[in-house]
Structure 1
Amino acid sequence: MKIGLLTQWYAPEPGPASLPTGLAEGLAARGHEVTVLTGFPNYPHGRIAEGWKQQRRLDSQVNGVHVRRVALYPNHDQSALRRVANYASFAASARMSGLDAMADVDALWVNYSPVTVAWPMLALHRRGIPSVVHVLDLWPDTVLASGLGGGVGRIAERPLTALCDRMYDAGSVVAYISPGVGDVLASRGVPRDKLAYAPMWADEQVHQPQPRATARGWDVADDTLTVAYAGTLGGAQDLETLIDACARVTDLDLMCLVAGSGTHEDELRERARRVGASNVRFVGRLDADGMARLNATADVHYVGLNDHPLAATTMPSKVQAVLASGRPIVGALVGDAADVVRQSGGAAVAPGDVDGLARHLRELSGQGREEAARRGVLARDFYEREFSFDTGASRVEDLLVKAAGGGRRG
């Protein structure tokens, strides 16, 4: 089958590019003829990546995938206007310089975020190409919750909602990554028979089970139960709850390693000092080798989200990454993410529930490292059943076949 992928993000970009890149290469490995329409790499630094020279369009063959790149305005700073220019320039350029690359595909997979991709998608829809619209971030909710653009975001809410509705209407299938998102889409008028559950997977080249370290890093003793957090030290991750809970269990043989950097780093360090969380150690940003050492040292990982309107339907990619690494999760989460943590052998409390998290840390410490390792096996098994790349790619492949089976629209 000839499959097209429409996505602003693609390798060698990190982060949001990993899903479409893995999907494209996985579908090609399954024997499909795959074409990707994307932009020139500029994420996350907001400048064209080293070794690349931007031009109107560029075709290449990469790992069995035909990649059509089109020009865009590179930017990823905090300016709402410049971010919009980045999104809109890709959409306009894809429509002007990329549609011919998709002319003969049997079905199109659309990375729905940012929703400006609606412009080239709808143009291809008018040419009769059926599509699977994959809702990876719920718009316009994501933009409004992030505060991007302030009052401008509120003004844009209605036109963004209308654009989303047009994508849902045009798509042959609308895929979603968590049950809560499916319910929201249904409440917004998307027919249930058009909706399909298709969760994300982790980068399995990076996140694989590792044996526990024989020589543990950061001077952690052999018997010490170790909780790790790795990621952004910002306001959305509810790290205050983790620090305050750790301060209440300093009588236990428990260590918490916090890796990463962010806007709240200094505030979090000061909080740990102020509340007496002597068992919390900040280890800074880690490279790939450092992250591997952290995971080999850790028995449990922490994942948290502040209590915001999207928390109940948000599925942080960190959840899949930790489960793929064969480690259980203790989290401050609600909704779909909390359900997954509990079903995979971990423990979850509501955001801000310091007492509840402290109780779970006490329980985990009392059970010891061997029980944590047993839960880690359950976590990896759950990942294999629900989130693995093979499972996810098969779901998307089936949806594309279903979309193509509906035939081209005249």
Structure 2
Amino acid sequence: MRIGMLTQWYDPEPGPASLPGALARGLVARGHEVRVVTGFPNYPTGEIADGYTQSRRMDEVLDGVHVRRVAVYASHDGSTVKRMANYGSFAGSAYASGLGALRGVDALWVNYSPVTIGLPMFAQLRRHGTPTVVHALDLWPDTLFASGFADGAGPGRFIHASLDRWTNRMYRKADKVAYISPGVGEVLARRGVPTSKLAYAPMWADEAAFQFSKPSDDRSSFEVPDDHTLLVYAGTLGSAQDLSSLVRAVAQVRDSPLTCLIAGSGTEEEGLRTLAKGEGATNLRFLGRLGRSEMRHLMAASDVHFVGLNSHPLAKITMPSKIQSILASGRAIVGTLEGDAADVVRAAGGWTVAPGDVAALANVLREVADAGRDDVIRRGAAFRRVYDKQFSYSLGVSRVEALLEDAVAGRCP
């Protein structure tokens, strides 16, 4: 097939933004022609990546994938106005300058987040009627409001209603709607998406970056004692990740053989550093944002990872992409989690407590430290087996490929 992809995020952008590129390469490897419409890379720094100069549009071929890049307002800071400008600029540019690259495709995969991508999607459907799979990697408008964009009163109520109508139209126009966690599928069904359209298609990890045989004993660069269990948090330092609970809990177990390293940056970084100092968390250090090779080294050195989400209705159906990355790396997880994410962690043999329960988290961290590295390493091997059975890259590409084929077949007389 000739497959089109609409996604604001694409290589060389890292983390979750790299997943569409992995999908494109996987489809090419299976004999498909793939054409991508995306923006100039600027995530997560908000600056155009080295090697690119922004213009109205640019075509390139990456790993056999035909990529058209269109202009975008580059910004990823905390400003709501700038965030909306970033989302909206890509939608407008893709509509005006990108769709020519999708002429003649047999099927279209749409990265549903952010939902402003509906603009070029609707235009593609109007012009060419392309069979379309919408992949709900985030649940909108819920995600936007959970981030504090607006409340449910006054103008916020109008915005919420408008986005509801917009997303519902995307569901109606799509031939298939894929979702990444069971809870999201249930919500979409309650919102009127026919079950015949819905399909479970969880995301995968960059397996080449996160595959290690066992935790590395070379931890000298991180100054971690040989007999300490190394707990790592890597990702955004924001309000949604329940990191204040982690800092307070780690401070309570500073007499245990456990060291915690936090890698990343975000709006809460300064506050978390202040909190750690005030709590006396001498067994915790902040590493800042790390490069790709440094992050790989940290993942190899780690024994166990923390994943947290604040208590919010959306958190119960959220599946953070870092869970798949940690599973693929063969590491165990300690989490302040509820719902779907907690189910995955517990089924793999990890530990979960309620978001915000510092005392319970401290008890778990003490248990992890006292059990020692060998026990944590054993649990990590079970996490990798869960990844291979449920979330592997090969399985993920097969699921999307089948949905695209079903979308095309559903249009045949």
Q: Which range, TM-score by smaller chain?
A: over 0.9
1:49-87 per-residue CA deviation (whole Å, 9 max, x = no partner) reads 343333333332221111222333333344433433332
Structure 1 portions without partners, runs of 5+: none
Residues in 2 aligned to 1:55 and 1:263: alpha-carbon distance in whole angstroms: 30
Residues in 2 aligned to 1:49 and 1:215: alpha-carbon distance in whole angstroms: 31
Does the aligned pair in 2 maintain the 1:349–1:357 contact within 8 Å?
Answer: yes
Residues in 2 aligned to 1:209 and 1:273: alpha-carbon distance in whole angstroms: 33
Deviates more, 1:346-355 or 1:85-94: 85-94
Letter in 1 for 2:137: L
Residues in 2 aligned to 1:4 and 1:28: alpha-carbon distance in whole angstroms: 12
Residues in 2 aligned to 1:35 and 1:43: alpha-carbon distance in whole angstroms: 21
Counterpart pick for 2:267 among 242, 251, 263: 263
Residues in 1 aligned to 2:367 and 2:348: alpha-carbon distance in whole angstroms: 17
Residues in 2 aligned to 1:269 and 1:332: alpha-carbon distance in whole angstroms: 20
Q: CA deviation at 1:91?
A: 2.0
1:215-242 per-residue CA deviation (whole Å, 9 max, x = no partner) reads 4333322222221222233322212222
Residues in 1 aligned to 2:277 and 2:42: alpha-carbon distance in whole angstroms: 39
Residues in 2 aligned to 1:78 and 1:248: alpha-carbon distance in whole angstroms: 31
For residues 91-110 of structure 1, what are the structure 2 equivalents within 5 Å? 91-110=91-110
Give the direction of change, closer, same or farther, for the CA distance of 1:42–1:285 in structure 2 (3 Å limit): closer
1:342 aligns with 2:346: yes
Partner of 1:226: 230
Residues in 2 aligned to 1:100 and 1:292: alpha-carbon distance in whole angstroms: 38
Does the aligned pair in 1 maintain the 2:11–2:17 contact within 8 Å?
Answer: yes
Partner of 1:247: 251
* Alignment root-mean-square deviation, CA: 2.2
Would you say how many aligned residue pairs link Structure 1 and Structure 2?
A: 409
1:200 aligns with 2:216: no
Partner of 2:141: 140
Letter in 1 for 2:42: N
Residues in 1 aligned to 2:72 and 2:265: alpha-carbon distance in whole angstroms: 29
TM-score (norm 1): 0.93
Partner of 2:330: 326
Residues in 1 aligned to 2:73 and 2:272: alpha-carbon distance in whole angstroms: 35
Give the direction of change, closer, same or farther, for the CA distance of 1:401–1:223 in structure 2 (3 Å limit): same
Partner of 2:161: 158
Give the direction of change, closer, same or farther, for the CA distance of 1:255–1:86 in structure 2 (3 Å limit): closer
Partner of 1:125: 125
Partner of 2:186: 183
Residues in 1 aligned to 2:238 and 2:218: alpha-carbon distance in whole angstroms: 31
Does the aligned pair in 1 maintain the 2:147–2:240 contact within 8 Å?
Answer: no
Does the aligned pair in 2 maintain the 1:80–1:148 contact within 8 Å?
Answer: yes
Residues in 1 aligned to 2:271 and 2:60: alpha-carbon distance in whole angstroms: 46
Other structure's SS at 2:231 match: strand
1:322-380 per-residue CA deviation (whole Å, 9 max, x = no partner) reads 11111100110111111111111211111011222222223222322111111110011
Other structure's SS at 1:282 match: strand
Letter in 2 for 1:168: Y
Deviates more, 1:49-58 or 1:321-330: 49-58
Q: Percent identity?
A: 59
Does the aligned pair in 1 maintain the 2:242–2:309 contact within 8 Å?
Answer: yes
Counterpart pick for 1:297 among 288, 301, 314: 301
1:89-148 per-residue CA deviation (whole Å, 9 max, x = no partner) reads 322332233333222211110011111111221222232211100001111111111123
Deviates more, 1:183-192 or 1:245-254: 245-254
Residues in 2 aligned to 1:71 and 1:212: alpha-carbon distance in whole angstroms: 42
Partner of 1:169: 172
Does the aligned pair in 1 maintain the 2:210–2:299 contact within 8 Å?
Answer: no
Give the direction of change, closer, same or farther, for the CA distance of 1:187–1:58 in structure 2 (3 Å limit): same
Partner of 1:375: 379
1:191-216 per-residue CA deviation (whole Å, 9 max, x = no partner) reads 11211011111122321125333343
Other structure's SS at 2:138 match: coil
Letter in 2 for 1:139: W
Q: CA deviation at 1:253?
A: 2.0
Partner of 1:405: 409
Does the aligned pair in 1 maintain the 2:265–2:288 contact within 8 Å?
Answer: yes
Structure 2 portions without partners, runs of 5+: none
